A = this chain, B = another copy of it.
């Protein structure tokens, strides 16, 4: 992944726009650049990718079959970049935002950007401020009025706050495909899980607290194999083959889907936790905060 010569996001966005509008010049106009500039950028992109992606016609441009795939993959990349920029923009506005939000790390990392992207068409002029802190501090900030709405994970429900379920999340035990547990055929007993040194998030994180609370009754936990400060750092450690880790399902959805990581479900242990929106009890949320809550609380029927 490091040795790669990365493509240029602006060129990818341009290609996506061309695919939507059907022409290089039209896309250039939409993005506010000149047509020759767009033309040259696309050529550079094609050279970088090593595959022709556009079929230039006198009446416009169509994608090649490869181009179609590139556009679809590019939308994923741009979506992730959009989430990054949305998240960063919200964090930058900690103070003086029209809608100050506080969220615990897992929610902030995996859900808040999506919500804010969905909020944009509904409340286009609202600047959202985001503070990422642990669940206890989220409660403090909301109670102190420094955040109008907060999002917490884990079992504890602070007093003085009203709450609403916005999702569920399950902690999963994951291993890389090379790990012995990937091939095990006997179920994993909670006892054995508790006794195994694991890669875990740092103490104080919602993930760690939830895990320790749930495992409490299955005997003393072994010392962690490794303690890391972010979900993705744990994933990096996993990639190099190191032993089992405990992570939020949200953090490993992609890797589980294509088999880069495997989940090992311990028998009879419920690692599910609730993700909740919280606000000051008795206060009626309205305006943007209400829109955000509505949006976040929407779940597919039957889930």
Which residues on the B side are within 8 Å of A7 (C-beta)? Answer: 9, 81, 84-85
Give every chain B residue within 8 A of A50 (Cβ-Cβ).
88-89, 92
Q: Which of B69, B81, B109 contacts A109 (CB 8 A)?
A: B69
- A288 lies within 8 A of chain B by Cβ: no
Contact in complex: B301, A20 (CB < 8 Å): no
**Residue A126 at the chain B interface, CB threshold 8 Å:** no
A72 on the B face (CB < 8 A): yes
Which residues in B have their C-beta under 8 angstroms from that of A80? 73, 76-77, 79-80
Considering only residues 50-82 of chain A, those with a C-beta below 8 Å from chain B are 50-51, 65-66, 68-82
Chain B hits for A236, CB < 8 A? 20
**What are 19 A-to-B residue pairs whose CB atoms are below 8 Å?**
A1-B82, A8-B9, A50-B88, A50-B92, A66-B132, A68-B230, A69-B109, A71-B230, A71-B232, A73-B80, A73-B84, A75-B232, A75-B235, A77-B84, A110-B258, A114-B255, A115-B259, A118-B258, A262-B299
A residues bordering B, Cβ < 8 Å?
1-2, 4, 6-10, 13, 17, 19-20, 30-31, 49-51, 65-66, 68-85, 87-89, 91-92, 105, 108-111, 113-115, 117-118, 132, 167, 177, 182, 184, 187, 229-233, 235-236, 250, 253-260, 262-265, 295-302
